[in-house]
Structure 1
Amino acid sequence: MATHWIWQQPDWPDFNWQADRLTLLLRECVQSQGQLLGMAGSVSSSLSAQSELDALLQNIVTSSAIEGEQLNVGSVRSSLARRLGLETADDNNVSPRSESLAQLMLDATRRFAEPLTLERLLEWHSLLFPEQENGLSSRAINVGALRGDEPMQVVSGRIERPTVHFEAPPRQGLEQQLERFLKWFETSEHEAGLDPLLRAGIAHFWFVTLHPFDDGNGRLTRTITDLALAQGEARAIRFYAMSASILDDRAGYYRVLESSQKATLDISEWLTWFLQTLLRSFRQAIARIESVLGKTRFWQTHRESELSVEQIKVLNRLLDGGERGFEHGISAAQYQAVAKVSKATATRHLAELLEKGCLQRLPGGGRSTRYQIRYTDKPTH
């Protein structure tokens, strides 16, 4: 039998990689992860809960978006918020789908210390497709059970001349393949020579290559990755969403998976892409928490300042920075538009904010003068 797919290699699944190619990248990941966890420890419990909710929500929504499914964000958010004890759910805004997806994500992260068994995997698969169990779906797939006997292929293009991007191992022997994966997943958690981040990358690649279900393999793969990362950190609280970073480079994700699944058991290329994507995820989370902490410190500094409603509104927009389009500061004309005040009032408000130390003037003058937040104690890392 010709070895077209990686699982046809005689030593499958004994993966190997070039450690020297990954050393620097892995070190950057570990440092950023440590920085993020350290920052997270200094956030108040209410901000921590909000940050966790945001990260979990982002993870669920983007993992489905990778597969082309658009979820109702408000519905998923309500389901998560109730489970995290942040608020009571708006029952009119909660669907069985969002309830199941919230349950799945929290099972993987909050119960990270519990073993990953076949029974748990099958339960996760059932949570991915609640509409099937209610008879609401027209798609015939095996829910909560391994895939059928027909070949499992990932294809694109025309029906008469499809392009086969990947073919999974045959159905026969799949139970033994999965058992081997699950046993490795359990023992590798305590393997001294294996970095937890590399373990998460290997788990991701191995499981998605097995493709054990009719549908939902990608989402379950990313759930297993979240579980592996939670185990590596030995903490349930998530502050970053790796699925969001995968979605940012969705084409690259599929490209590197396809090339690696057709190659040798050296998965250095895949692990490089995985670590680069994880690093981006850490850095985005760090920037987000820095923004939250900066905003909190700013309002603590200016809690005695007598500010108008319009001034507070503009300051909050500036504190949100790039998310609101004001990463390069604000001009008098923009202040006028955001605050909905006259030109004279905008000029007076800006002068007051300069005097109170809330804003600082950026270089440049005349009509192009821009103003940005003045942080009195901006932290350095």
Structure 2
Amino acid sequence: MSEESPSSDHFYIWQQTDWPEFSWSAEALAGALRACQQAQGRLLGMVDAAALDDQARSELDALLQTIVTSSAIEGERLNVESVRSSLARRLGVAGEPKHPATARSEGLAELTLDATRNVDAPLDLPRLLHWHELLFPEQESILPTSVRVGSVRGHEPMQVVSGRIDRPTVHFEAPPRDGLDAELDAFLTWFNTSRDDTRMDPLLRAGIAHFWFVTLHPFDDGNGRLTRAITDRALAQGENQAIRFYAMSSSILDDRKGYYHILETSQKGGLDVTAWLEWFLRTLLASLRQALGHIDRVLAKARFWQEHRSQSLLPEQLKAINRLLDGGERAFDDGITASKYQVVAKVSKATATRHLADLVAKGLLEQLPGGGSKTRYKVAY
């Protein structure tokens, strides 16, 4: 979707008399909210059990996923290696491959870490404008000159459209520029004060912040990415945990069509945002469960190597075992064969067979039923 001018005759949520007095059904959200809270608690408990080095790498992976997928939602492909290098340097993660940093990767890393780590600082207009500047480094910008970088949008009507240029489909029109400063100030005031409101559940606060800010659409471009940065900030504040281990943007990307649909229907509806919050909590739960699976593999890997710490292994064997332990690779869903070991370890077929037999003898692998050239092995947990 793109962001354009001119105006439309739709009736939008911000035109409601009591805007932005949102309401929702606590009863309808209770089950999803409880599931998210339980998953969140499990994740934080598992993180406490992980080694410091594992924590740092898991956070690096989650932040990288956040940046890459948030940009992908807007149809932008990033240089992943450059972004990872910029994050690793800022997080102090040693042993990461070094790739040339760019103004783009540096800006995105700075924005994401400020949003999720510096959570006690107020979210004010200067910080928001600085984040916008970080999104669009001047030397790498390919934006049209109409985009005001580091500044709130101008007086042209702001529409979210898709389809043909000559016959666009208008999905949403944002509040007009007149009055936008007051609207933005009201949002920032609410964001900074609602954190201490004991009546507001932190997860619902994050959902409301997301919907409110993206509805204001205060910039010419970059509104979606800043919305998701604000959402991550709200979630980090609610957890009292600056380290991030899940990427909600990844789950939003998985349901990108649903994301745009629920935004459009909610922005054309009344002030009851129960449907939006149901979608938000369901998507948050998906990201939490994804992170739980990742941390579980990290802890299992640590336990495995603790159990086999006395074993003497060749570098090729270590590499293959770690690939199996890391999981997430469909190629190894059914175990590893000698031919797959050859590819991973870069050894001959005879050497692969010998290495695998040695790993079985030492108790690190076990042979699965079957035999012949397709004999498969899995990690012996």
The two structures share one fold, judged by TM-score above 0.5 = yes
Residue number among 54, 66, 72 corresponding to 2:79 in the alignment = 72
How many correspondences in the alignment?
Answer: 374
Residue 61 (structure 2) aligns with:
54
Residue number among 175, 179, 184 corresponding to 1:173 in the alignment = 179
Distance 1:103 1:314, change over 3 A: closer
1:199-220: per-residue Cα shift (whole Å, max 9, x none)?
0000000000000111111011
2:118 counterpart of 1:104: no
Structure 1 residue 226: deviation in Å? Answer: 0.9
Structure 1 residue 333: deviation in Å? Answer: 4.4
Distance 1:89 1:294 in 2: 22
Structure 1 residue 159: deviation in Å? Answer: 2.6
Distance 1:338 1:214, change over 3 A: closer
Distance 2:321 2:193 in 1: 52
Residue 322 (structure 1) aligns with:
328
Residue number among 153, 161, 171 corresponding to 2:167 in the alignment = 161
Q: Is the 8 A contact 2:266 2:273 kept in 1?
A: yes
Q: Which amino acid aligns with 2:188?
A: L
Residue 6 (structure 1) aligns with:
13
Structure 1 residue 73: deviation in Å? Answer: 1.4
Out of 53-62 and 164-173, give the one that drifted further: 53-62
Distance 2:310 2:279 in 1: 49
Q: Which amino acid aligns with 1:13?
A: P
Q: Matched residue of 2:212: which SS? A: helix
2:191 counterpart of 1:223: no
Distance 2:372 2:130 in 1: 64
Out of 59-68 and 199-208, give the one that drifted further: 59-68
Distance 1:352 1:216 in 2: 54
Distance 2:158 2:259 in 1: 19
Residue 378 (structure 1) aligns with:
none
1:183-262 aligned within 5 A: 183-262=189-268
Distance 1:259 1:191 in 2: 28
Distance 2:37 2:63 in 1: 21
Structure 1 residue 31: deviation in Å? Answer: 0.8
Distance 1:135 1:77 in 2: 20
Distance 1:108 1:338, change over 3 A: closer
Distance 2:323 2:205 in 1: 41
Distance 1:100 1:333, change over 3 A: closer
Q: Matched residue of 1:325: which SS? A: helix
Q: Matched residue of 1:322: which SS? A: coil
Q: Structure 2 length as normaliser, TM-score?
A: 0.90
Distance 1:317 1:270 in 2: 39
Q: Is the 8 A contact 1:61 1:73 kept in 2?
A: yes
Structure 1 residue 141: deviation in Å? Answer: 1.2
Residue 319 (structure 2) aligns with:
313
2:39 counterpart of 1:22: no
Q: Is the 8 A contact 1:82 1:88 kept in 2?
A: no
Structure 1 residue ranges without an equivalent (≥5):
376-381
Structure 1 residue 163: deviation in Å? Answer: 0.7
Distance 1:154 1:302 in 2: 56
Q: Which amino acid aligns with 1:86?
A: V
Q: Is the 8 A contact 2:108 2:134 kept in 1?
A: yes
Residue 268 (structure 1) aligns with:
274
2:152 counterpart of 1:146: yes
1:3-40: per-residue Cα shift (whole Å, max 9, x none)?
72111111211111121221111111111111111111
Distance 1:125 1:30, change over 3 A: same
Q: Matched residue of 2:328: which SS? A: helix
Residue 379 (structure 1) aligns with:
none
Distance 2:18 2:304 in 1: 58
Distance 2:98 2:300 in 1: 35
Q: Which amino acid aligns with 2:78?
A: L
Distance 1:322 1:76, change over 3 A: closer
Distance 1:339 1:130 in 2: 41
Distance 1:90 1:215, change over 3 A: same
C-alpha RMSD over aligned residues? 2.5
